[in-house]
A and B are shown apart, each in its own frame.
Chain A
Amino acid sequence: MPSLPPIRPEDEACAQKARDHGAFDAPVEDHQRALFDYLLRLGDDSLILGQRLSEWCGHAPSVEVDLSLANMALDLIGQATFFLGYAGEVEGEGRDGDALAFHRDVLDFRNCWLVEQPNGDFAQTMARQFLFSTWQKMLFDRLAGSRDEQIAAIAAKAVKEVAYHQELAAEWVIRLGDGTDESRRRLADGLGWMWRFVPELFDADRVDAEMAARGIGAETAAFREDYDRRVRAVLAEATIEPPADQRPILGGRRGHHSEHLGHMLCTMQFLPRTYPDALW
């Protein structure tokens, strides 16, 4: 278990000052820090899930599935490139998207727990994708109207692709759930694994609240009901009972992660850390 990062007093102070409409009166650097953090969350979700999906490359059950997983991975890494590149600009300390992706340690990552979960079998991967992409689609639909032009542009561009991810994952959930006894059992197990990480997607802290209040971010609570309805409708079609609610696991947005993330970063970051001057 890694030690937890301290909550710094300046973070607290920044979050206090930047509340609601008073946010506009907050010093520019406070605003930038909150925006930076928010962009890391968006970018890290995409980066980590993109990396996870790319682990399937060459291993998927059929060539079509291999292509679709690799394509989704590409889309997600594309999103991460934009969000993290912008985060680097906002931070203003000379770090670019690559520096943020490859030269941060596990405790500095701000992704949710859901995306870092291991692939497991194909059903578990699809359960994760379905739960995440359904959420991401609803989030990006709203971010496309962000007051931050850059976030709005990235979301408006990416949402078209995320709509595909959501559809594809839902189709697989239905096919696996309403398939053979084995596919059904595997999907139920996959959903059972992933279910406890869903509440974190809707758990807003001060950064989320500030971003929403300024019209930059989106209030996730606003689409919680839509999300639940959509998930239940797909599970009903898959003839699968939603898993019982479990104790939610939170903390990814503060840098608390499962042991899986560090192992994944070892693989992902090995090359640029070992050969910092390497170029494509």
Chain B
Amino acid sequence: MVRTGTAVVQDESFRSSRAKSRGAGTDSEQRPSTQSILSDAAGGVEGLGTNEDGVWQVLHSVPDPEIPVLSIVDLGIVRSVSTDRVTITPTYTGCPATQVIERDIRDALDAAGYRQVRIETVLAPPWTTDWITPEGRARLHAYGIAPPLAAGQRTPACPQCGSVETREISRFGSTPCKALWRCLACAEPFDLFKCH
């Protein structure tokens, strides 16, 4: 699967501006895969406009409006892609981003010349956080949001200092998908992407 450079560039700028504002930008946050993603993208652009890979490329460039460090592919909401149809599924029933996402996909597809590709929304099977890709989980962590708990994990690791001495403040956070937690080691609050 090919990825576009656009998504990566967007990620990087979001990540670094946020890291700067926290004063926490370090080399350890750098994702090792960045280079390979960029070089893949360089080879993939030629196929644009002709096939499913091209559609995937466009989708990789569409960020989640609430968590722009994630693409909608990272988020796991793209269920299938064909040359004439993209099937997506909403995350949370009431997520206000759902309509924005659909519009963003439409705009991105149109801009890339895929006007004939329809967007369909399906509800079943329901989305789960297990569909967030490993890359997506790494990006969430680097962005300052603890990814959903893995099986057997009892508390999330603080995205700032890495401590697992953390405590829930509120089960509902700034968006439907997040809970508010606090690190007991560094005392910073952080968002946890809830298991769903």
A interface with B by C-beta (< 8 Å): 50, 64, 67-68, 70-79, 81-82, 149-150, 152-154, 156-158, 160-161, 164, 168
Contact = CB atoms under 8 A, between A and B. Distances in A.
A71 B196 CA distance: 14
Interface in B101-143: 122-127
Contacts of B171: 68, 164, 168
Interface of B: 90, 92-96, 122-127, 169-174, 176, 180, 196
A82 B126 contact: no
A82 B94 CA distance: 10
Nearest to A62: B170
A253 B115 CA distance: 44
A67 B124 contact: no
Contacts of A168: 171-172
A154 B123 CA distance: 7
A74 B94 contact: yes
Contact of A153 (B94, B124, B180, B196): B124
Contacts of B125: 156
Nearest to A71: B172
A199 B93 CA distance: 28
Contacts of B90: 78, 157
A161 B92 contact: yes
A75 B93 contact: yes
A60 B172 CA distance: 14
18 contacts: A64-B180, A67-B172, A67-B173, A67-B180, A68-B170, A68-B171, A72-B172, A73-B94, A74-B92, A75-B92, A75-B94, A75-B176, A78-B93, A78-B94, A79-B93, A157-B127, A160-B126, A161-B94
B196 A160 contact: yes
A65 to B, nearest CB: 8
Given A64-B170, A68-B172, A71-B172, A153 B95 contact: no
A101 B169 CA distance: 35
B172 A157 contact: no
A164 B96 CA distance: 18
Given A67-B174, A74-B94, A78-B92, A157 B126 contact: yes
Nearest to B93: A78
